[in-house]
Amino acid sequence: MSAAALPPTRPTFRALATAFVPEAASLDQPSWAEGEAIVERFLAARPAAVRRQLRLLLALLDFLPLLRHGRRFRALDAARRIRFLEAMQNAPLLLLRRGVWGVRTLAFMAYYARPAAASAIGYRADARGWQARP
């Protein structure tokens, strides 16, 4: 299996995930581990270069707020995190905008792909389609 992508940037990923999905702030350690394992399985199928780019992007998103706020992303309060991410999603650099949207997708995956989250929101998809409905 390929090297894990998240461990060196786990605190930043969690901070970003809670900005994108505020409910994620209530996750306990086993739930975080479950969500991150889902993301890691997804990333394992990607080339090593993509995983390196993700780690670089997460590091960049963590350090960029130092320029304006004097703190890393993970040390910002919720309101500043949101303002920073709104600025990044509208950044003139297309690659940065796409990267933020990609991280947002991974955060959604980490939270909503967990069976407990699917159950909590009433998601009952089944490969059998409507025939599976009671």
Task: Confirm whether 126 is domain-assigned.
Answer: no
Distances in Å between the alpha carbon of 98 and those of 78, 89, 95, 121? 22, 8, 5, 28
pLDDT of 8 reads 78
107 contacts 6 by C-beta, under 8 angstroms = no
Task: Confirm whether 2 is domain-assigned.
Answer: no
Residue 72 burial (10 A CB sphere; 0-12, 13-18, 19+): middle
Task: Confirm whether 79 is domain-assigned.
Answer: yes
d(CA 20, CA 55): 18
d(CA 19, CA 22): 6
Task: Confirm whether 59 is domain-assigned.
Answer: yes
Q: What is the pTM of this model?
A: 0.86
Task: Confirm whether 131 is domain-assigned.
Answer: no
d(CA 24, CA 26): 5
Number of domains in the chain: 1
Task: Confirm whether 1 is domain-assigned.
Answer: no
pLDDT of 2 reads 54
Distances in Å between the alpha carbon of 66 and those of 31, 69, 84? 30, 5, 11
Task: Confirm whether 128 is domain-assigned.
Answer: no
> Which domain covers residue 112, as residue numbers?
7-121
Task: Confirm whether 83 is domain-assigned.
Answer: yes
- Return the amino acid letter for 29: Q
2 contacts 51 by C-beta, under 8 angstroms = yes
Kindly give the parts of the chain with pLDDT less than 50: 1
